[in-house]
Amino acid sequence: MSLFQPETVACPACGAPVEFAVVYSINADRRPDLRDGILDGTFQEEICDKCDKAFRLEPELTYLDVARKQWLLVQPAGKLADWPELEERAKSSFDKSYGPHQAPAVQALGRTMQARVTFGWAAFREKLLAVERGLDDVVLELVKLAIIRGLDDSPLADDTELRLVDLEGDDLVLAWIKSADESAVEVLTAPRALYDEIAADTGSWKALRDQLLQGAFVDLQRLLISSAVTRK
């Protein structure tokens, strides 16, 4: 089931109280409208009656879509630094639902599911969009890395992330997005041929592919953080 709790939140612009039905879990099989709201960017957004400022709560929830084989622990973007602990929490939570203490049929279902942990709305939406468009999320992260390697300079920063936002014909449309407000700094495209080339390459990308698949945090930022730690 999808779980909501009524809460009063201060408007970030004027401080006035705004009533929210704050989401804690989503079952997209029963509530496909919630999935649609995540994809179109309107879910968990309200408008302040006092100043007319529209704002969105940071996501902190579990997401289940059995039909699309997705299970996600979704956390605020500001908790990215805690990804190792939250990755462990995701594993523990997923195992509790689908692990060895469950009935054989439930365990069998769990083996078909893709368990992930994400940070912020842009990353959350990207996981849903990738499945919607038939893209493997591991290959997608390697495509981003290939793009960054080919740039002389990029907006990449602690508060700016590269995310898939759409597909147009044979092109993947990506954007550099500010984590705090989801605003796009720059939009770029990558040919689907680049994705297909990396997907078919079982040699030169293997080490990075294996690194991404070490846990539920399947994201370019895992590679970048690990690389930064190694350099220290």
Q: What is the 3-state secondary structure (H, E, C) of the chain?
A: CCEEEEEEEECCCCCCEEEEEEEEEEECCCCHHHHHHHHHCCCCEEECCCCCCEEECCCCEEEEECCCCEEEEEECHHHHHHHHHHHHHHHHHHHHHHCCCCCHHHHHHHHHCEEEEEECHHHHHHHHHHHHCCCCHHHHHHHHHHHHHCCCCCCCECCEEEEEEEEECCEEEEEEEECCCCCEEEEEEEEHHHHHHHHHCCCCCHHHHHHHCCCCCCCHHHHHHHHHHHHC
Q: Indicate the domain borders of the chain.
A: 58-231
Beta strand 184-191 with 171-178: parallel, antiparallel or unpaired?
A: antiparallel
Q: How many CB atoms lie within 10 A of CB 159?
A: 13
Q: What gap in Å lies between CA 229 and CA 232, rounded to an integer?
A: 5
pLDDT at 168: 94
pLDDT at 231: 45
pLDDT at 232: 46
Rounded to a whole number of angstroms, the distance between the first and last alpha carbons of the chain is 45
Q: What gap in Å lies between CA 113 and CA 151, rounded to an integer?
A: 35
Angle at 91 between CA 138 and CA 25, to 5 degrees: 90
Q: What gap in Å lies between CA 27 and CA 32, rounded to an integer?
A: 8
Strand partners, 171: 168, 191
Q: pTM (2 decimals)?
A: 0.93
Q: What gap in Å lies between CA 59 and CA 61, rounded to an integer?
A: 6
pLDDT at 1: 81
pLDDT at 226: 64
Low-confidence ranges of the chain (pLDDT < 50): 229-232
- 12-47: b (≥16 Cβ within 10 Å) or e: eeeeeebebebbeebbbeeeeebbebbeeeebbebe
